[in-house]
Chains A and B, each alone.
Chain A
Amino acid sequence: GESVGLHLPTLSVQEGDNSIINCAYSNSASDYFIWYKQESGKGPQFIIDIRSNMDKRQGQRVTVLLNKTVKHLSLQIAATQPGDSAVYFCAESGANSKLTFGKGITLSVRP
């Protein structure tokens, strides 16, 4: 079946270091991808999105990379801060289809 998944359940990084969160997707028809951040007791918060006609998109301290050849998505966070500690989800969709979320990875920032 089609799925979106994350390679690692947890990621621990030192404050100030860069973080890389990876995601694999299996639906080759997917053309829209989003990263969400979810803090405890809150709903997911949009971080950055990318469409399949791009392979890289940058935001403030975040970069999303898309490799359609191997169906891989990554989120890079520069100079990770304690406030970045949360669960991160990748989500994907195809044309006019609902978002499918991955299982989530916990990012823990060590002071």
Chain B
Amino acid sequence: GAGVSQSPRYKVAKRGQDVALRCDPISGHVSLFWYQQALGQGPEFLTYFQNEAQLDKSGLPSDRFFAERPEGSVSTLKIQRTQQEDSAVYLCASSSWGGLALGEQYFGPGTRLTVT
């Protein structure tokens, strides 16, 4: 069975460029999460969707970060006017449970973003 997939796996952007990162969750999973993982650190929560509703975006570091999940399946994380501090691995996870922390979250392989 297919797990969570993310694309692209690697993205190099020049400072100031906009980027869009895609997440395909496990089919039928209600909850979708985005995390940012700096080198050598644990993932840090960015935002959470239950179906198409974005219920928590408290972790988004600035208004340059925007996430959507318009049909309750695929999600896109967009970063506008990228800065060097945005360089990180962006992880997507999905869960069959509704709620922020109920049940097991299945993670994708991540997108490594490097801003030069």
Contact = CB atoms under 8 A, between A and B. Distances in A.
Interface of A: 4, 32, 34, 41-46, 49, 89, 91, 93-94, 96-104
A100 B45 contact: yes
**Chain B at the A interface: SS class:** loop
30 contacts: A4-B42, A34-B104, A42-B109, A42-B110, A43-B91, A43-B108, A44-B43, A44-B91, A45-B107, A46-B104, A46-B106, A49-B104, A91-B42, A93-B101, A96-B100, A97-B100, A98-B33, A98-B45, A98-B48, A98-B59, A98-B100, A99-B45, A99-B101, A100-B45, A101-B42, A101-B43, A101-B44, A102-B42, A104-B41, A104-B42
Contacts of B115: none
Contacts, number: 55
A42 B91 CA distance: 10
Interface residues of B, number: 24
A41 B42 CA distance: 14
A45 to B, nearest CB: 7
A44 B93 CA distance: 9
Nearest to A36: B107
Nearest to A95: B101
A99 B105 contact: yes
Given A42-B109, A97-B101, A100-B45, 4 more contacts: A34-B104, A46-B106, A97-B100, A98-B48
A32 B42 contact: no
